Amino acid sequence: MSVAQIVTILGSIPLFSMRTFLPAFLAAIFLTYPEYFPGMGDIAPASEGAFITRDWVLIVLGILSILEIIGDKSADIRNLVKNAEIYLKPLIFLVINLSLLDEASVEVLEEMQWAAFDLKWILLGFGILMVHWLATLRRNFITFLEDIDEDDNFYIGRISSWMEDSLVLFGFFLLIWAGIVMLVVYGLAIAVFIFMQKRYDRKLEQQKIQCPSCGKKNLPFAVECYHCKTTQPNIHKIGIFGQRKRALVEDVRQHQLKLLSHRKCPSCGSKLESTEIHQQCNTCGNNIFQSPEVKDFLKYQDQKFYKIGGLSFFVGFIPVVGFVISAVMANVYLFSPYRRYLPKGTSFLTKIWIKFLTFIFFILGVALGFIAAPLYIVMRYIIWKRKFVGQTKNENLPNIG
């Protein structure tokens, strides 16, 4: 086995942990047309009829890569495939590396000794495990990003997705032209990522507060201990990213409504896994929307709606920026709290309609933001509120029957 082959296998690990088809497509393109890559012209083209350089393989991989890039920009699609991906990625990693080894090193393989053969399989086995492990880390990170910005109001999901696309592309070219540099750079980046994640987990653990009655560790937002239900003496406020604020809660009722708007349990503060409105908290068994009730929540949302609607009129006098600020505020404070309780991906047409509305209003909002912004907020608020109320009735029906 040559050093170049070892570097190739190791270097493709971070690429395949980010994307499934894009690195495979890039590798296939490279093997089929090495002459188009500067400095690579003297590489012998892959043997005639090699699996990876066949036209249909190239086309299929190309289409899949484009679908992957587009699909990853949608929070719904990303969510849908993220659990299958952690198994698919190691598999594609193996298939591509096997064909890379075969095509690029026909001569080496012919003279291959058993010792070299062993090393190849050890390396590939290690690679498969690493891709699976890194892909799982990535999936957990995506879940974490979704918790912060579930509806992609701040474009966190989309920005991170574009960053990944460019990291795969950049990493691939770096691997071709400076393989060792690529290994060092990406290896360090992964190490930093893992370190940061460990530190974040530790910070979350440290933020938990011990219950004075039973000693169990509670989330800083918990109103009552999840274990013994004792009211907690120090309840921390929650920020718009779901983070802990230093300030302590004064109005518990208001705090509970705020937790509900983040789809967190109003008693123990845990994230609710299901989107159902009437459900039981998995952590403490509290019945959600029993206290505070749905009508309290609607009233709480309506109050925010009047405030932000009024504010958007004044902010709308600032050209362009005014409309954008109003739209983001409305998404975060008014629409998302309802949307979090609605099943995802059910209303594709509604989504397109809303995108269209947003676009029209944005055009209008460039000059007449003080009219467009409040109008946009009123229309969309009514739509989401009506959907939410409809959902509460939907859920109640089976109980009656």
Residues in contact with Zn ion by CB under 5 A are 211, 213-214, 216, 225, 227-228, 230, 265, 267-268, 270, 281, 283-284, 286
267 or 312: whose CB is closer to Zn ion? 267
Nearer to Zn ion, 104 or 225 (CB): 225
Cα–Cα dist 28/92, whole Å: 12
**Distance in Å, CB of 335 to Zn ion, minimum:** 25
Question: What count of other Cβ atoms lies within 10 Å of the Cβ of residue 356?
Answer: 10
Residue 36 to residues 33, 39, 41, 56, 205: CA-CA distances in angstroms? 6, 9, 7, 20, 52
Contacts of 275-283 with CB under 8 Å at 24 or more apart are 275/340, 275/341, 275/342, 275/343, 275/344, 276/341, 276/395, 277/341, 277/388, 277/391, 277/392, 277/395, 278/392, 278/395, 278/396, 283/226
Concatenate the DSSP letters of all residues of 74-91 into one string.
SHHHHHHHHHHHHHHHHH
152 φ/ψ sector (left φ>0, alpha ψ -120 to 50, else beta): left
Q: Which residue has the tokens 């009219």?
A: 371
Select 19 or 236, whichever has its Cβ closest to Zn ion. 236
Minimum distance between the CB of residue 83 and Zn ion, rounded to whole angstroms? Answer: 25
Rounded least distance, CB 280 to Zn ion, Å: 9
Pairwise CA distance, residues 53 & 61, whole Å: 11
**Measured from the CB atom, is 97 or 283 closer to Zn ion?**
283
In the bound complex, what is the minimum distance in angstroms from residue 299's beta carbon to Zn ion? 22
Nearer Cβ to Zn ion (13/265): 265
Cβ closer to Zn ion: 73 or 227? Answer: 227
Residue 275 C-beta: closest distance to Zn ion, Å = 16
Nearer to Zn ion, 142 or 222 (CB): 222
Of residues 272 and 308, the one with the C-beta less far from Zn ion: 272
Smallest gap from residue 284 Cβ to Zn ion (A): 3
Q: Any alpha helices (H) in 33-155, and if so which ranges? A: 55-71, 75-104, 106-110, 114-148
Least distance CB 234 / Zn ion (angstroms): 13
Nearer Cβ to Zn ion, position 54 or 253? 253
Compute the least distance from the CB of residue 211 to Zn ion, in Å: 3
Long-range contacts of 304-309 (CB under 8 A, 24+ apart): 304/333, 304/334, 305/334, 305/377, 305/381, 308/333, 308/334, 308/377, 309/374, 309/377, 309/378, 309/381
As measured in angstroms, the least distance from the Cβ of 258 to Zn ion is 15
Residues 6+ apart with CB under 8 A from 294: 277, 392
Tokens of 94: 């193996």
